[in-house]
C-alpha cells in the first residue's frame, strides 16, 4: 500500500516517495526551553512520533533519521532567566531535563538527533554569509537581515497577501530595514545576553534570529534538501516560510523539504488556551497534579486522547475526552491479557493501511477496537463450558496478540504501569540534609543528594524562596 501524506505546500494529499529509501529524513521543530511544555506542545510531539514509527515500520528503523531540535537561545529564555534570577544555562538545562521527562511519559521515542541551537552557531554564520554574498541578505547597524524582495515566490507556503503576511509576522518597524517584511538573521546582543562572534561584515558580537537556527540545524543533520518538515500549523508563517527562504536561497535549491506537514490547533474545553483565561495547562500538571479533572492522568491517556482526533483537525482538549481515553485503555488492557505467554504478533496490515492514509489515527483506533471486539467475543466463547467452537480460545488469543501489537505501535502500553510513590518523610529528611550542605557550601554533597533524589523520581526546584519538589514519573 502507498503512504499518502497531506503536503501543506501543495495543498493536497501526495504519495510519499523518499529521496533515498535508505535514509528517510524528517525534521520537526522542537521546544524553546524556557518553561514547561504545555498540552498544545504535546500534539506535534505525539503526532510526529507516530509518523516516525510508521516510517521505521515501512523502511526499517536504521533507515529513518528523525531530527527534533532544541531552541536554547531566545528572547523568552533571556527574560525568564532574569525573572527567576538564575543563569540562562541553569534555566535551559532544568527545562530541557523536565521536557525529556514529560516526553518520555507520553510514550515518545527518542529522535535520532536532538541538536541544540547553541551548538550550531558556526553553520548559522556560514548560511548568513552565503545569503549576504548572494544579495539575498544585507548588513545594517549590527544586524543581518534577509531581503524578502530577493525571493520572487516568497509566501508560497502560507499563501497570504503581502498585507496579511505583514500583520501575521507582527513586523518590527526599524529604520535599518530596506523593506518592512525583511526579517532578522543575526542581531547585536545586549549586555548580559548570550553573544558569539558575528558573521563577516559585523564587528560587534551578537546572536542568531530564530528562523536561521532551524535552517542551520536541518542542513547539518539532514542535508540541503530532505523529505519531511513538520510542526504545528502556527509555525507555517512566518517561521517555516522564512526557513524555506533562507535554505533555498543559500543553497540555490527549489525546495527545502519535499513534504510539509502541520498539525492543527488545540483549545481547552471549547476555548483558546491562555493564561489570562486560567485554562493554560502543562503536560507536567496533567501528569502530576489534580488541577485538570480533579486527578492526575497517565501519559497513555494523554497520548490516546490526542490521537483520537486526526492530526490536521483542530482538537478540543476536555476532561471528558480523557475519561473516555482511560475507559478505552481499561477495556483494551483486559482483552490484551489474553495474549499472555504468546510470541509477539505482527501489526495487522489493515491497521497499518489506515495510518498510511495521511496518518489517520482515528481510523487506526477504530480498527484496534474491531480487533478488541473480536478478541473479547472469542475469549468469552472459548471460556464457556457449553462452547461449541473449540478453536474460539485460540482465535481470541491470536486477536489479543494483534491488539497488543497495535497498542505497541501507537506507543500505548498494553498493561498499566504500577503507580509510582515515594516515602515523603524520607524525601523531606534528605531535603533538610541538602539544605544543611548548601548552607555549609558543601556543593558536592548537595549535588549528591539532588542526584539521589532524582534517581528516586523526585525533582527539585531551587528558587530565591527556597526549594520545592515534585514526583517526575
Q: Is residue 275 over pLDDT 60?
A: yes
Per-residue pLDDT, averaged over 397-407, amounts to 95
From-to residues of CATH 1.10.730 in the chain = 275-419
Per DSSP bridges, beta strands 271-272 and 458-463 are unpaired
pLDDT at residue 141 tops 80: yes
Q: How many residues does the chain have?
A: 473
Query: What's the pLDDT band for 471 if we cut at 50, 70, 90?
Result: low
Q: What CATH number was assigned to the domain covering residues 4-263?
A: 3.40.50.620
Q: Indicate the burial class of 33 (C-beta count within 10 angstroms; 0-12, 13-18, 19 or more).
A: buried
Cβ contact 175:90 at 8 Å: no
> Is the distance from CB of 261 to CB of 8 less than 8 angstroms?
yes
What was the pLDDT predicted at 4?
98
Q: What pLDDT is stored for residue 20 in this prediction?
A: 98
- Report the DSSP beta bridge partners of residue 230: 28, 261
Q: Which pTM was predicted?
A: 0.87
249 vs 473, residue with greater confidence: 249
Q: What is the mean pLDDT of the chain?
A: 91
The secondary structure of residue 136, as a DSSP letter, is S
Place of cell 533555498: 248
What is the widest separation between alpha-carbon atoms in the chain?
A: 88
pLDDT, one tens digit per residue, over 83-104 is 999 999 999 999 999 999 999 9
Query: Which of 65, 69, 92 has the alpha carbon at shortest distance from 80?
Result: 92
pLDDT exceeds cutoff 80 at 315 = yes
Detail the DSSP E strand segments found in 348-472.
458-463, 466-471
The reported pLDDT for the residue numbered 58 is: 98
Who wins on pLDDT, 429 or 258?
258
Contact between 84 and 379 (Cβ < 8 Å): no
According to the CATH classification, is domain 275-419 in 1.10.730? yes
What share of residues in the chain are helix, strand, coil (percent, to 5)?
50, 15, 35
Alpha-carbon span 343 to 329, nearest angstrom: 22
pLDDT in tens, 198-221: 999 999 999 999 999 999 999 999
- Higher per-residue pLDDT: 333 or 165: 333
Q: Residue 70 has which C-alpha cell?
A: 532544541
pLDDT of residue 279: 87
Question: What local confidence, expressed as pLDDT, does residue 88 receive?
Answer: 95
Lowest mean pLDDT among 170-184, 229-243, 407-421: 407-421
Nearest to 68 by CA among 44, 91, 92: 44
Q: How confident is the model at residue 169 (pLDDT cuts 50, 70, 90)?
A: low
CA distance to 51, 359, 370, per residue, from 307 (Å): 12, 10, 17
Burial class for 443, CB neighbours closer than 10 Å (0-12, 13-18, 19+) = exposed
pLDDT at 118: 97
Q: Where are the beta strands (DSSP E) in 189-310?
A: 206-208, 226-232, 257-263, 266-268, 271-272
pLDDT the model gives residue 456 = 66
Round to whole Å and give the CA distance between 171 and 162: 11
Q: What is the pLDDT of residue 427?
A: 81
* pLDDT at residue 390, as a whole number: 61
Instruction: Say what the pLDDT of residue 381 is.
Output: 80
pLDDT of residue 359: 98
Cα 150 → chain centroid: 33
Alpha-carbon distance of 116 to 462, in angstroms, equals 24
Which stretch of 65-79, 218-232, 256-270, 275-289 has the lowest confidence by average pLDDT? 275-289
418 or 270, which is more confident: 270
Task: Quote the pLDDT of residue 447.
Answer: 79
* Reported confidence tier of residue 418, pLDDT bands at 50, 70, 90: low
pLDDT at 455: 62
Residue with cell 529522535: 111
What would the grid cell of residue 166 be? 505583514
Q: What distance in Å separates the CA atoms of residue 135 and residue 441, rounded to the nearest whole number?
A: 55
For the sheet containing 143-146, what is the strand order? 137-140, 143-146, 183-188, 206-208
- Alpha carbons within 13 angstroms on the beta-carbon side of residue 96 total 17
Angle between helices 241-251 and 210-222 (to 10 degrees): 50
Mean pLDDT, rounded, for 182-208: 96
Question: In the chain, which segments carry CATH 3.40.50.620?
Answer: 4-263
Given this model, what pLDDT does residue 337 score? 93
Q: Which residue, among 353, 364, 452, 373, has the nearest Cα to 412 in the 3D structure?
A: 364
pLDDT at 461 over 90: no
For the cut 60, the answer to whether the pLDDT of residue 361 exceeds it is: yes
Q: From residue 28, how far is each of 40, 76, 113, 435 by CA, in Å? A: 15, 20, 11, 41
d(CA 257, CA 243): 10
Residue 134 has pLDDT above 60, yes or no: yes
Amino acid at each position: 500500500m502507498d503512504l499518502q501524506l497531506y503536503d501543506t505546500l501543495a495543498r493536497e494529499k501526495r504519495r510519499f516517495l523518499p529521496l533515498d529509501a535508505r535514509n528517510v529524513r524528517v525534521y520537526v521543530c522542537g521546544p524553546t526551553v524556557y518553561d514547561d511544555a504545555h498540552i498544545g506542545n504535546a500534539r506535534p510531539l505525539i503526532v510526529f512520533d507516530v509518523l516516525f514509527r510508521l516510517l521505521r515500520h515501512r523502511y526499517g528503523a536504521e533507515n529513518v533519521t528523525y531530527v527534533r531540535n532544541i531552541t536554547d537561545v531566545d528572547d523568552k529564555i533571556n527574560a525568564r532567566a532574569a525573572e527567576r534570577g538564575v543563569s540562562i544555562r541553569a534555566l535551559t538545562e532544568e527545562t530541557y531535563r523536565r521536557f525529556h521527562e514529560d516526553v518520555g511519559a507520553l510514550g515518545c521515542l527518542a529522535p535520532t538527533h536532538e541538536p541544540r541551537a547553541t551548538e550550531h552557531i558556526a553553520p548559522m554564520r556560514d548560511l548568513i554569509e552565503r545569503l549576504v554574498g548572494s544579495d539575498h541578505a544585507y548588513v545594517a547597524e549590527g544586524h543581518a537581515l534577509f531581503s524578502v524582495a530577493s525571493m520572487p515566490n516568497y509566501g508560497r507556503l502560507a499563501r497570504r497577501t503581502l498585507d496579511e503576511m505583514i500583520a501575521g509576522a507582527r513586523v518590527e518597524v526599524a529604520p535599518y530595514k530596506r523593506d518592512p517584511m525583511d526579517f532578522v538573521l543575526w542581531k547585536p546582543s545586549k549586555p548580559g545576553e548570550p553573544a558569539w562572534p558575528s558573521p563577516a561584515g559585523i564587528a560587534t558580537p551578537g546572536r542568531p534570529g530564530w528562523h536561521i537556527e532551524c535552517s542551520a540545524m536541518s542542513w547539518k543533520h539532514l542535508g540541503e534538501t530532505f523529505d519531511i518538515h513538520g510542526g504545528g500549523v502556527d509555525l507555517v508563517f512566518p517561521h517555516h516560510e522564512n526557513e524555506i527562504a533562507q535554505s533555498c536561497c543559500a543553497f540555490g535549491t527549489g525546495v527545502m523539504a519535499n513534504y510539509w506537514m502541520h498539525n492543527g490547533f488545540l483549545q481547552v474545553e471549547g476555548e483558546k488556551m491562555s493564561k489570562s483565561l486560567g485554562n493554560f495547562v502543562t503536560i507536567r500538571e496533567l501528569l502530576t497534579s489534580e488541577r485538570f479533572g480533579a486527578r492526575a492522568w497517565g501519559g497513555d491517556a494523554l497520548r490516546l486522547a490526542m490521537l483520537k482526533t486526526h492530526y490536521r483537525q483542530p482538537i478540543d482538549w476536555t476532561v471528558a475526552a480523557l475519561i473516555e481515553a482511560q475507559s478505552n485503555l481499561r477495556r483494551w488492557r483486559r482483552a490484551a491479557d489474553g495474549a499472555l505467554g504468546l510470541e509477539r504478533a505482527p501489526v495487522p496490515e489493515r491497521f497499518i493501511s489506515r495510518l498510511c492514509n495521511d496518518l489517520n489515527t482515528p481510523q487506526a483506533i477504530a480498527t484496534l477496537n474491531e480487533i478488541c471486539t473480536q478478541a473479547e467475543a472469542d475469549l468469552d466463547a472459548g471460556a464457556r463450558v457449553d462452547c461449541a467452537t473449540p478453536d474460539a480460545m485460540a482465535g481470541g488469543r491470536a486477536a489479543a496478540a494483534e491488539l497488543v501489537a497495535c497498542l505497541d505501535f501507537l506507543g500505548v502500553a498494553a498493561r498499566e504501569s504500577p503507580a509510582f510513590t515515594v516515602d515523603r518523610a524520607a524525601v523531606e529528611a534528605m531535603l533538610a540534609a541538602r539544605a544543611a550542605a548548601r548552607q555549609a557550601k558543601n556543593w558536592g554533597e548537595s549535588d549528591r543528594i539532588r542526584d539521589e533524589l532524582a534517581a528516586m523520581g523526585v525533582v527539585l526546584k531551587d528558587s530565591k524562596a527556597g526549594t520545592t519538589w515534585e514526583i517526575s514519573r
